[in-house]
Structure 1
């Protein structure tokens, strides 16, 4: 079932983790921009590298958010982590979009955030189930 306490905690943890990892992403992107000022690898593939790094940060944020949400909920289902992933990705999309248009990339981002929250949640659930069978 749904746990409101875990939902609030999960949303706050996703926001805090996301902002912390975004700080690291910005510092890394600044280093890449300043490090390679010529015609090197980073200059050629700068946009692609920034996109890959941004998706990695976003995936890790949702994964850890799913783990923390599942730890707080104490339940063996993924309803609350799914709602955390969905709501935080929609909130992120609505606050960052100036025109309000939802593109294919936005839909992939929303779907991916739900998937990574569920993956984090399933990791905790499998760990709980494994420890419950070891005690018996």
Structure 2
């Protein structure tokens, strides 16, 4: 009778340990998916910022074309056009500098993301290895 109880207790213990391992594996997978989701959200935000910057540059260039048309039609002076063009070029430079700074940040995030993925892979591998060895 006591051997039967000990066997049942051992079976329960094995089942409980297995349940804890599965729970731990699910937690690891959830953390990995959360990190991946955050990385995707960051990249999405970066792309939206890039699109916003490109739209701004496009508006500057369209305004420049309209001014050139106005200069050729004699509506504004060449000097006025050149001054406005200079202002827009300075704005474009600022937009491009911001874009370059953001790209460096994205590169840093991407590198960090790769390191974290590798760390997760190693952790999952060692968890599986330890599960199989027990």
Q: Same fold (TM over 0.5)?
A: no
* TM-score under structure 2 length normalisation: 0.35
TM-score (norm 1): 0.35
Q: Greater helix percent: which structure? A: 2
